[in-house]
Amino acid sequence: MGTPNKDNGKETTDQEGANQKSALSVNPGVADAPAISPYIRDQRKTLSRKEISIEELAAGILSGNRTHLSKAITLVESNLEAHNDKAQAILELVMPKVGNSIRIGITGVPGVGKSTFIESFGSYLLEQNHKLAVLAIDPSSQRTKGSILGDKTRMEILSKSENAFIRPSPSSGSLGGVARKTRESMYLCEAAGFDTIIIETVGVGQSETQVHSMVDFFLLLMLAGAGDELQGIKRGIMEMADLIAINKADGANEPFAMRARVEYESALHLFPAPESKWTPRATTCSGIGGKGIDEIWKLVLDYISTTKTNGYYAKNRENQTRMWFEETLREVVLEQFFAKPGKKESILESEKKLMAGKSTLLKEIKHLMEN
């Protein structure tokens, strides 16, 4: 209660006097409107509770539903056994529609401009009425195990197109420049009706050859000044390339790119003739200016035509499937080996013997395999 005072002969409190003297009239407020409509919120809860069946996901993929395709790829990439079982069931349903695309692997050292090139190359393919899927593999941190997955942000035109699908995936420690389940993701994209699949690898150099075992055409992007002709003679990733493209061949860098093309093309002739009977080429291009993009696509089509005619195309895909089967079998056997009861303890015991010099390596491995 305020202190009494006299005003106009009336006795009032300080608070009452303050209210009477104020020129503002304060009315009770109303509650803020919800940020999300209650109807939409309830719909979200309903949708989140509704689990899409395997049959619905498969049917959605076959009809070109990109949301269902993304969900299926998420199941494929999951490490949960329940998700893997669902993914395999979906793959089994869509497999009859798999195999009708041109598979292109694109690799190169970091900074060579892979994402920019794919943006330009993909835009050209869209103009030619193709449906394009890009599986971009992003390196995972060895410390935090996380990935930025930022390749999609550098492909703005493709991201907005209804005829393009971009899926960045973490490498999750897998070697060879691709993720562990890239092949299955590629199959799902083919089943969804994408006639051209591009796999953009991590970009780590000479060891990045695994992508070669899952694509039809292997494109290696290079930079002028990254190495002389002797660099091109090195085995590994160089001799697997069907085409070497010297990127960023524009402006002041163009003459250097032209000279590099001649050097790499000369180096390619030093390799043994590939089984495909295709003569690897070297060319120049510019991801920013679009120079040479149409020529690269013509070479891809020429390669596909040549290898289909001589029978290598079908044989190569059969060999890739056989290799995939053997690799997966080894992985499963290895997982089951370590999952056996008491196996971890036995391994630790063998390690202690080796550290103390009380046994030999092959003896302990043989012991572990027999028990």
Q: Evaluate whether 104 touches 216 at the Cβ level (below 8 Å).
A: yes
- Strand segments (E) across the chain: 5-7, 10-12, 102-108, 132-138, 164-170, 196-200, 217-223, 243-247, 281-284
State the alpha helices, DSSP H only, in 50-113. Answer: 54-62, 66-77, 81-94
Contacts for 103 with CB less than 8 Å, ≥ 6 apart: 186, 197, 199, 214, 215, 216, 217
pTM: 0.78
Tell me the pLDDT band of 21, cut-offs 50, 70 and 90: low
302 phi and psi, to 5 degrees? -65, -40
DSSP single-letter state for residue 49: H
Averaged pLDDT score across all residues of the chain: 82
Q: How many CB atoms lie within 10 A of CB 288?
A: 14
Angle, CA 109 vertex, CA 118 and CA 131 arms, to 5°: 15
pLDDT digits (tens, 9 = 90+) for 24-71: 666 666 666 666 666 666 666 655 556 789 999 999 999 999 999 999
> What tokens does 326 get?
């053997």
Is the Cα torsion angle 316, 321, 326, 330 positive or negative in sign? positive
pLDDT digits (tens, 9 = 90+) for 229-268: 445 445 567 888 999 999 999 989 999 999 999 988 888 8
Gyration radius (Cα) of the chain, Å: 31
Indicate the helix (H) or strand (E) that contains 314.
Answer: helix 312-339
Tell me the pLDDT band of 360, cut-offs 50, 70 and 90: very high
203 phi and psi, to 5 degrees? 95, 75
Of 13-27, 41-55, 284-298, where does the model show the most confidence? 284-298
pLDDT digits (tens, 9 = 90+) for 190-208: 999 999 999 988 665 544 5
Map out the domains of the chain as residue ranges.
52-96, 98-142+149-311, 322-370
- Classified as helix, coil or strand, 10 is strand
Read off the amino acid at residue 105.
G
Q: Evaluate whether 186 touches 103 at the Cβ level (below 8 Å).
A: yes
Q: Please give the pLDDT value at position 153.
A: 64
Q: Does domain 98-142+149-311 have CATH number 3.20.20.70?
A: no
- CATH code that applies to domain 52-96: 1.20.5.170
pLDDT digits (tens, 9 = 90+) for 316-350: 999 999 988 888 888 888 888 888 888 889 999 99
- Classified as helix, coil or strand, 146 is coil
Average pLDDT over residues 153-167: 86
